[in-house]
Amino acid sequence: MAIRTRMSGNEATAYAIRQINPDVMPAFPITPSTEIPQYVSNMVANGEVDTEFIPVESEHSSMSAAIGASAAGARTLTATSSAGLAFMWEVVYVAASSRLPIVMAVVNRGLTGPLNINAEHSDSMGARDSGWIQIYGENNQEAYDNMLQAFRIAEHESVHLPVMICQDGFITSHAVENISLLEDEPVKQFVGEYEPEHYMLKDQEPMAVGPYAVSNYCMEAKKAQAEAMIRAKDAILQVAKEFEAISGRSYGLFEEYQMEDALYAIVAIGSVCGTAKDAIDRLRAGGMKVGLIKVRVFRPFPGEELAEALRKVKAIAIMDRCESYSAQGGPLGAELTAAMYRAGLDAKTVNIVYGLSGRDVRVEDIEQVYADLREMAEEGKTFAQYPYLGLRER
Amino acid sequence: MAALTEIRWHGRGGQGAKTAALLLADVAFNTGKHVQGFPEYGPERMGAPITAYDRISDNEIRVHSNIYEPDYVAVVDDTLLHSVDVTKGLKPEGGILINTEKPKEEILPLLKGYSGKVYVLNARKVCMETMGNYFPNTPMLAAMVKISKVMEEETFLKEMEASLAHKFEKKPEVLAGNMAALKQALTEVQ
């Protein structure tokens, strides 16, 4: 029986962690993810989990402790945001290259500066080339569901990579909304016991983790890591299928909303997609054929699959909640247009930067984006290739 | 009861406007509604103006934006009337609820000609008479339920009793005062 209740995205994440009952959780608090270690500490104190909670002195230490624990053979998890993730930087790469199945709840917040605490994807997007799998959620339900699937993906025999489960700071982390939770037992069955094949505390198999690799071998190690990232696509889909069997909720690499006959589409990530769905329903009521692709998995990037889903669309707005200072747009824009080019697509595109530092996006803003796409496709109107949505004029 | 009711809360950091918004979402959920309760943070500190929001709906809520045209507004601190445009976008069919010790006539000129209903509640008086401590969000929550009619008053009180009993599990002595504050606010809001 599903448990119908209401809670915030952070609480939902902590609820999932309780059900997963990981072995070790090192963490250092940072807004807006602070509540996650706070809830878990309470659970530890109340004896609701067997987790060893390690209060560390910094995020560099939390990721280092996570690497040590995971290498030793423990199912390990942490949580962070923004500058916390930035402070982990060096060791974030070590976790991935050591092929450690660590899970990290990332409550997305912009990197400083100007100093701000609100939602933006610059923290996790900055780590997009670190070798971690990245899965993004639209709301508290998806934050919960994605967290439950995370260890199955990370520990999958063909993957062995760390996973970030991302949600939008405050917008979903601090919003209390309806949610459907699973009971403890089916979650326990689904997540399963962690039985690593190789780990440092295995006395029959002495090993080193993270040693120096000479140039003769280093490139092969990186290639093996890259291959694992490619294989992760199938693993993510397989785990999603099994999750659907226990939850009734289906997940893919991305979600298509009203894409079947869509002429104009938005491709975006995270909570803005809910707002876009409301805009689509309004515009469709007036006969405008509009659709949305919500990217759930950004790493591995489902380039071919996205291009296929966009094949019949005339104009596309690719929306980045992140400025990459590349002088030509954001990360989703860069990667998706590259994938479209390889697939031979020539739909018109515009790469929109929106929602930086929590700048609010309204249904009306999204309606305007679709109106612009229509003008671009039908009337040949040209727009700046890299506009900002909702920028103040003064 | 409307299919969708949207409420905006104005308060100062530390007064519990966010808690009131989240509590309202909580009790509305218990009546079978889809809910969304969320804060909007500026520079977070005691005394700074803060905003919080509620959506209470018969249907699934997917939108994740702030509320610009609320049905109702609650102002937890009347000093905000001088610095925050509290009636901005407020629907004339709706209403505004203000916590103040002043008579309604003194408040009306500060509302920029808002044509909808104006309600006042002396939450300080209610708090001091029932709890002996100033937690304005408790009576304001009850008054908001009354004016917005998002649920029956009886249901509200029943749900709040359960919710507060849970929240104050370790301080059961404060339950009676909180319940008395809610009931008194329901009768004293004008």
Give CA–CA dist A276/A316, Å, rounded: 14
Q: Do B41 and A118 touch (CB under 8 A)?
A: yes
Whole-structure pTM value? 0.96
pLDDT given for residue A385 in this prediction: 81
In this complex, do A277 and B62 lie within 8 Å of one another by their Cβ atoms?
A: yes
pLDDT at B1: 59
Nearest-CB residue to A175 (from B29, B36, B41): B36
Residue percentage of chain A with pLDDT more than 90: 97
Q: Are A277 and A235 in a shared domain?
A: no
Same domain (yes/no): A196, A242: yes
Helix-then-strand count for chain A, H and E: 12, 14
Q: Cβ of A21: how many Cβ atoms within 10 Å?
A: 16
Residue A38, domain member (yes or no): yes
Q: Is residue A339 part of a domain?
A: yes
Q: Does B34 touch chain A (CB under 8 A)?
A: yes
The per-residue pLDDT for A297 is 98
Taking the Cβ of residue B41 and every Cβ of chain A, the question of whether any pair is shorter than 8 Å is answered with yes
A6 interaction partners in chain B (CB closer than 8 Å) = 25-26, 29, 35
| CATH number assigned to the domain comprising residue A293 | 3.40.50.920
In-domain check, residue A9 = yes
> Contacts of residue A271 in chain B, CB cutoff 8 Å?
64
Which residue, of A200, A216, A247, is where some domain finishes? A247
**Nearest-CB residue to A178 (from B29, B41, B65):** B29
- B4-188: CATH number: 3.40.920.10
Peptide bond into A32 cis (omega under 30): yes
Q: What pLDDT score does B3 carry?
A: 92
Tell me whether B35 touches chain A (CB under 8 Å).
yes
pLDDT for the residue B44: 63
Count of structural domains within chain A: 2
Rounded distance, CA A242 to CA A374, Å? 39
Whether A242 and A260 map to the same domain: the answer is no
Give the least confident one: A84-98, A279-293, A309-323, B43-57. B43-57
Residues 6+ apart with CB under 8 A from A16: A143, A144, A147, A148, A187
Cα separation, B129 vs B185, whole angstroms = 11
Residue B10 has pLDDT above 70, yes or no: yes
Q: Contact A362/B65, CB-based, under 8 Å?
A: yes
| CB atoms A362 and B26 under 8 Å | no
Listed in sequence order, the residues at least 6 apart from A383 whose beta carbon sits closer than 8 Å to its beta carbon are A350, A372, A376
Which of the two residues, B43 and B123, has the higher pLDDT score? B123
Residue of B nearest to A168 (CA): B64
Q: Are residues A114 and A90 located together in one domain of the fold?
A: yes
Nearest-neighbour CA in chain B from A139: distance (Å): 8
Q: Is the pLDDT of residue A3 over 90?
A: yes
- Beta-carbon separation of A175 and B38 below 8 A: yes
Q: Give A272's contacts in chain B (Cβ within 8 Å).
A: 64
Which residues of A are less than 8 Å from B41 in CB distance?
Answer: 117-118, 170
pLDDT at A383: 83
Residues of chain A neighbouring B39 (CB-CB closer than 8 A): 170, 174
In a domain, A100, yes or no: yes
Clarify whether residues A149 and A77 are in a common domain.
Answer: yes
The residue type at A235 = A
Are A171 and A98 in the same domain? yes
Give which of A42, A178, A368 to mutate to test B binding, by max B Cβ within 10 Å.
A178
Residues A267 and A352 in one domain: yes
Q: Among A247, A273, A300, identify where a domain stops.
A: A247
pLDDT score, position B64:
97
Task: List the single range of A76-85, A351-360, A378-387 with lowest mean pLDDT.
Answer: A378-387
Residues A271 and A299 placed together within one structural domain of the fold: yes
pLDDT score recorded for residue A144? 98
3-class DSSP state for residue A106?
Answer: strand
> In Å, how far is A80's CA from the nearest CA of chain B?
19
Q: Which residue of B has its CA nearest to A274?
A: B62
ipTM of the complex: 0.94
Whether A117 and B44 lie within 8 Å, measured CB to CB = yes
Q: What residues have CB less than 8 Å from A57, skipping those under 6 apart?
A: A28
A242 with A258, same domain: the answer is no
Comparing CA positions, the residue from A285, A236, A277 lying closest to residue A257 is A277
Among chain B residues, CA nearest to A172: B64
**B33-64: pLDDT as tens digits:** 999 999 997 766 778 899 999 999 999 999 99
**Phi and psi at residue B60, to the nearest 5°:** -55, 140
**Of A193, A218, A247, the domain-final residue:** A247
Give pLDDT, residue A213. 94
The answer to whether residue A385 is domain-embedded is no
> Mean pLDDT, chain A, as a whole number?
97
Nearest Cα to A136, choosing from A226, A236, A279, A64?
A236
CA–CA gap between residue A286 and residue A348 (Å, rounded): 23
- For A129, the domain range is 3-247
Residue B187 has pLDDT above 70, yes or no: yes
Please list, residue by residue across A144-153, b when 16 or more beta carbons sit within 10 angstroms of its beta carbon and e when fewer do. Answer: bbbbbbbbbb
Query: Has residue A103 been placed in a domain?
Result: yes
pLDDT at B14: 85
Which residue is closest to B26 within chain A, CA to CA? A6
**Residue spans per domain, chain B:** 4-188
Cβ contacts from A onto B, under 8 A: 62
Assess if residue A46 is contained within a domain: yes
Is there a single domain that holds both residue A58 and residue A105?
yes
Is A260 found in the same domain as A243?
no
pLDDT for res A28: 98
Instruction: Output the pLDDT for position A83.
Output: 98
User: Is pLDDT above 90 for A6?
Assistant: yes
Residue A392 lies in a domain: no
Average pLDDT value for residue range A163-191: 98
Does A322 lie in the same domain as A226?
Answer: no
Residue A52 has what pLDDT?
Answer: 98
**What whole-number percentage of chain B has pLDDT above 90?**
85
The whole-angstrom separation of Cα B81 and Cα B28 is 28
